[in-house]
Chains A and B, each alone.
Chain A
Amino acid sequence: DTGVSQNPRHKITKRGQNVTFRCDPISEHNRLYWYRQTLGQGPEFLTYFQNEAQLEKSRLLSDRFSAERPKGSFSTLEIQRTEQGDSAMYLCASSLVTTGSEAFFGQGTRLTVV
């Protein structure tokens, strides 16, 4: 296992379309996080899972956003009816509960809404 994997790396979509991103965490990690990062800013927290349970959601996560981690392994983040303001880098990270202070990030998915 070489680290957190995110797919796709880049996605260009038309406004109003739905998009789905996938994150495969480090295999033994039970916590999984989603963040969003816009140009010139630090990552902003969206949500996190411990195993399959979604334990915390940011107010940034509008009704158009939904995240799942059905078997406690990989996770998906879906954005419905995309808007131009959704254009950003979407980052996934994972950590172990026992060493929760160390989170490892994937390379991100760059979303461009046109």
Chain B
Amino acid sequence: TQLLEQSPQFLSIQEGENLTVYCNSSSVFSSLQWYRQEPGEGPVLLVTVVTGGEVKKLKRLTFQFGDARKDSSLHITAAQPGDTGLYLCAGVLENYGQNFVFGPGTRLSVLP
């Protein structure tokens, strides 16, 4: 059983469309991160959220941390082919160690 679930697993959309991917858990996290990974490369940190209800924006990307700090979402507006990649959420469990637990990822493909 994964501590962090991500949905959808795969997403293929046309350039210009909007999309939302989700990261869910039954556990509480002291912080949650979103990473983007391209084939053969390491994950690249996009954002960290630490406060329940927090919303952060990074250009066309909007990240939200759930009020109870158990879930998060990533919304992309007007997707571009350069957004193609594997989106991973990761978190540090509250009151349990300092390692980052990862979800299985959402593989996004944006077609021109």
Chain A residues with CB under 8 Å of chain B are 4, 6, 31, 33, 35, 40-45, 48, 50, 55-56, 58, 91, 93, 100-108, 110
Interface string of B29-51 (1 = CB under 8 A from A): 01101010000111111001010
The answer to whether B105 and A42 touch across the interface, beta carbons within 8 angstroms, is: yes
The answer to whether A33 and B99 touch across the interface, beta carbons within 8 angstroms, is: yes
Chain B residues with CB under 8 Å of chain A are 4, 30-31, 33, 35, 40-45, 48, 50, 88, 90, 92, 97-105
The answer to whether A104 and B45 touch across the interface, beta carbons within 8 angstroms, is: yes
| Given contact pairs A41-B104, A91-B42, A106-B42, A100 touches B98 in the complex (Cβ within 8 A) | yes
The answer to whether B99 and A48 touch across the interface, beta carbons within 8 angstroms, is: yes
- Point out the residue from B41, B44, B103 that lies within 8 Å of A42, measured CB to CB: B103
A108 to B, closest residue via Cβ: B42
B47 to A, closest residue via Cβ: A102
Which chain B residues lie closer than 8 Å to A107 at the CB level?
Answer: 41-42
